[in-house]
């Protein structure tokens, strides 16, 4: 099982008084990508984040480390159990963090109160390219991805207007363990849940960024149409790291989604239908 660690992102020392939210990161980042959005969510929820192997606070990976995103989902479920045993939770993740959420919904459906996939997909295009990236980063380190990631992660103008936020994420990428990054790339290359997406029963939200070239809005719509209780929303002015680029919009969408899911559970059935919309 992949070795990962958690970070408490809400202000309360004791967890368990409010519903739990678990947040997953994008490749090359860490829980810092969620800091601003988590502060907003922390007013109403207990919030935990987790880091990918070799990223943030999670330990470095072995050179030959290999795992699937399904096994990463198992590790997330086990990590939550090590902190708050048996507690069901809302889950939201960006990119590969979102894909891990899809695997959670398929492998541990009883644990999820709801699922939100942000700037994510049921299958990432370019499996061969991810495999090649894995080998290159394992040999040369994550610094070789700085320029390409900056171009993909952020909408036009964000780097110049939000230097502190973008710098923190790029430093997280630079400091990530090369073998952990490579192992995640290989897991992404093998990930594909398209044929099983209709099995996802947790209240589902797909959030896409207007300028996201990796996971465009069409991917969010595809997922929302197939999940049993799905919605898709496009956030204007952001690209691939929406929780950092517009934390207020993402936190607002998630808070609404979590509340709808809780109302649905309290009502004992569906309170919504599949829909696509644009965030303001």
For residue 227, what pLDDT is reported?
Answer: 97
Kindly report which listed range (3-17, 27-41, 153-167, 259-273) carries the lowest average pLDDT score: 259-273
Q: Are 265 and 253 in contact (CB under 8 A)?
A: no
Task: In whole angstroms, give the CA distance from residue 127 to residue 186.
Answer: 8
Kindly report which listed range (97-111, 141-155, 266-280) carries the lowest average pLDDT score: 266-280
Q: Which CATH number is 6-278 given? A: 3.40.50.1820
What is the largest distance, in Å, between two alpha-carbon atoms of the chain?
Answer: 54
Secondary structure of 134-169 in the HEC alphabet? HHHHHHHCHHHHHHHHHHHHCCCCHHHHCHHHHHHH
Which among 259, 238, 256, 198 has a CA at the least distance from the CA of 94?
238
Is residue 272 pLDDT above 80, yes or no? no
Q: What is the pLDDT of residues 117-137, one digit of tens each?
A: 999 999 999 999 999 999 999
What share of the chain has pLDDT > 70, as a percent?
Answer: 96
For residue 103, what pLDDT is reported?
Answer: 98
- Domain residue ranges of the chain, discontinuous segments joined by +: 6-278
Q: State phi, psi for 114 to the nearest 5 degrees.
A: -165, 165
pTM of the complete model: 0.95
Task: In whole angstroms, give the CA distance from residue 93 to residue 65.
Answer: 23
For residue 230, what pLDDT is reported?
Answer: 97
Is residue 186 pLDDT above 50, yes or no? yes
CA dihedral 239, 242, 245, 247 (to 10 degrees): 160
Kindly report which listed range (71-85, 121-135, 217-231, 258-272) carries the lowest average pLDDT score: 258-272
Task: Tell me what the pLDDT averaged over the chain comes to.
Answer: 95
Is residue 273 pLDDT above 60, yes or no? no
Q: Are 121 and 165 in contact (CB under 8 A)?
A: no
- pLDDT category at 101 given cuts 50, 70, 90 is very high
């Amino acid at each position: 099982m992949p070795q990962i660690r958690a970070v408490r992102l809400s202000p309360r020392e004791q967890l368990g008084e409010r519903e739990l939210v678990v947040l997953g990161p994008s490749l090359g980042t860490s829980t810092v990508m969620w800091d601003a959005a988590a502060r907003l969510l922390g007013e109403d929820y207990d919030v935990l984040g987790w880091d990918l192997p070799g990223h943030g606070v999670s330990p470095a990976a072995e050179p030959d480390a290999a795992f699937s995103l399904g096994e990463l989902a198992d590790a997330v479920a086990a990590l939550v159990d090590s902190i708050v045993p048996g507690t069901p939770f809302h889950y939201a993740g960006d990119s590969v963090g979102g894909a891990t959420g899809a695997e959670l919904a398929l492998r541990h459906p009883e644990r999820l109160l709801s699922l939100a996939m942000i700037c994510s997909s049921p299958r990432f295009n370019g499996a061969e390219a991810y495999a090649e990236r894995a080998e290159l980063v394992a040999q040369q380190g994550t610094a070789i991805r700085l320029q390409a990631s900056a171009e993909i992660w952020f909408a036009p103008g964000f780097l110049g207007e939000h230097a502190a936020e973008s710098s923190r994420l790029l430093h997280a990428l630079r400091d990530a363990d090369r073998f952990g990054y490579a192992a995640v790339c290989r897991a992404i290359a093998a990930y594909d849940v398209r044929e099983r997406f209709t099995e996802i029963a947790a209240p589902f939200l797909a959030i896409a960024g207007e300028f996201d070239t990796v996971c465009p809005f069409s991917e969010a719509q595809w997922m929302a149409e197939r999940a049993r209780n799905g919605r898709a929303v496009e956030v204007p002015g952001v690209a691939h790291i929406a929780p950092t680029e517009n934390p207020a919009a993402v936190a607002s969408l998630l808070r609404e989604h979590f509340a709808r899911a809780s109302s649905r559970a309290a009502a004992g059935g569906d309170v919504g239908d599949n829909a696509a919309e644009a965030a303001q």
